[in-house]
Chain A
Amino acid sequence: MTGPRWMDFAGQAIFHTLVAALVIEALVRLWGVREPQQRIGFRLLALAWPLLVVPALFLVFPVREGEAFRDARSLFAGRHWDDLAFLGVGLYGWWITGMAVMGLALFLMDLVPWLRARSAEPPPWLARTPEGVRAEEALSRAAASLCMAAPPLVFLLDGQPVLYCTGTRHPAVVISRAAVDLLDPSELKGALAHELAHLERRDPTLSWALMGARALMWFNPGVQVLVRALARDAERVADERAASAIDDRLALASGLLKLFRATERRFPARSAEPFPLSASLAEPIARARAHDIELRCRALLAAAPEPIPLARLRFAAAAAGLGLLLFFVV
């Protein structure tokens, strides 16, 4: 029943993340937390568990790792599952291995296409085409709506509709001629306001930090799924910020839908390449992406979500309750 300390750490990091994520998800639903910024706050609490709380518990309370605590005080001890063995290896060991494989697969599924997209990025073109001028004017109007300075615009003479923001120290908005052609002026303003909202919140920097967290916790599938959920919430926050700034929720939803339809055929093919099994995953990934877009459009067609009252008190109570519960999970 003794084993390497790293195995206890990995097991607890994975198990604590799963419990914290499930508890937070249940609370978010039962408390009716719909405002995306508040959802991010609660999900960050679950994400903080494996990154901060579990290492702190190991450092500050080494007594938790003792067998006396495990046998007599804990609510749940993963090591007890080592009493059941398969092929000479305890089930706890099998479980950690399975979770690590799943975590690595989820991490690589996002990392490999991301690295490929970065290496295959076409050189930017700063062109004074009529579409480029239109995009610059729309960007200025969107920036004025958000009361921020317009960042540099990178205009691509690409055949594909492309629109995203980039840069941590030197933020910029990247747009292609096809995207400008696709969207009408109000949709273009809404879509650009969405990207500016990301820059306003420093989401590109945050995405690097989250990718770092994923790399650190590559073995933890809970972290991989949580970061994806956080990315979806960040999109919803940018949607709400842009919608309130331009005061046209419909135009933003319409632009979002047009860009999705124009690009939906590209994504399964790109994400299907990295792994032999990813061809079979392409369909569910495409469906999940379509579902995300549908949810975002539905949210934009409804009224802006109201924040729940007593959010800080709830957050503190949830953190304290989780802390108390997971202290006894080893």
Chain B
Amino acid sequence: MTAAGAAVTGSTVSEGARALWILTLVLGGAALSLVTLDAVPAWMHGVPRGVRRAASVEEAERRLQAKVLLPAYFPDTLRWPPSTVRFARDDGGSVALSFLGADGVPALFLAQTAGGEGTLPAALLGRLAVIQQQSAPLGAGSVLARVVAEDGTLWNQLEWNAAGRHFLLRGRGSLEDLIRMARSIHGGVR
């Protein structure tokens, strides 16, 4: 190859590399913009990344293609339907329901995996500090904890595995009611 030919080839290669670099930058910028735009609705609802809102329990069931197990015992002090229904698709999917009390403040939180006894995603559970923990009367491996929410409120929290799922039930009412609700979840603990 002559020197002139080599120079032309080198120039073409560098031009091609520059063109590909620009293309990568433009497509990368577009992808980043799209991901950001996609995150805006969840961000406006205060929902963490990876977690989606559903309008109802039925919608969450349809989108996860799994049945959501609910307690048969539901005290009159709680409002039905759930105030928020959120779900995540990580690790086979999981769903979280929040219920308001009769006084209009959050009073109950129920989360469960949609399939498998894996862990529930932290994004779905929120940040709570455990101040006390002991075994619960809901079978082997079940845990009863006293937790503090970010706003300083105290909650009772039950975690257990049943029917091939992992459950978490958190309430501000009496512990007896909470255990009774946990036992009444269809397919849950008898």
Using CB atoms and an 8 Å cutoff, list the residues of chain A in contact with chain B: 1, 19, 22-23, 26-27, 30-31, 67-68, 71-72, 74-77, 80-81, 83-84, 91, 309-310, 313-314, 317-318, 321-322, 324-325, 329
Contacts and interface: CB of A to CB of B under 8 A. Distances in A.
A81 B54 CA distance: 12
Main secondary structure of the interface of B (DSSP, over half): helix
Contacts of B16: 310, 313
B42 A80 contact: yes
B19 A80 contact: no
Contacts of B35: 75-76
Contacts of A318: 23
A19 B42 CA distance: 22
Contacts of B22: 27, 30-31
A278 to B, nearest CB: 32
10 contacts: A1-B54, A26-B26, A67-B63, A76-B35, A314-B19, A314-B23, A317-B19, A317-B23, A318-B23, A322-B27
B41 A19 contact: no
Nearest to A22: B30
B23 A83 contact: no
Given A26-B26, A309-B15, A1 B59 contact: yes
A67 B55 CA distance: 14
A242 B65 CA distance: 64
A contact face: mostly helix, strand, loop, or mixed: helix
Interface in B1-41: 12, 15-16, 19-20, 22-24, 26-27, 30-31, 34-35, 37-38, 40-41
Contact of B34 (A1, A27, A75, A317): A75
A19 B89 contact: no
A84 B54 CA distance: 12
10 nearest interchain CB pairs?
A: A76-B34, A76-B38, A83-B41, A72-B89, A75-B34, A67-B63, A321-B27, A30-B22, A26-B26, A80-B41
B26 A23 contact: yes
Interface in B43-76: 44-45, 52-55, 59, 62-63, 65
B12 A309 contact: yes
B20 A317 contact: yes
Given A75-B31, A310-B19, A27 B42 contact: no
B15 A84 contact: no
Contacts of B26: 23, 26-27, 30
Contact of A325 (B30, B59, B89): B30
Contacts of A75: 31, 34-35, 38
B189 to A, nearest CB: 30
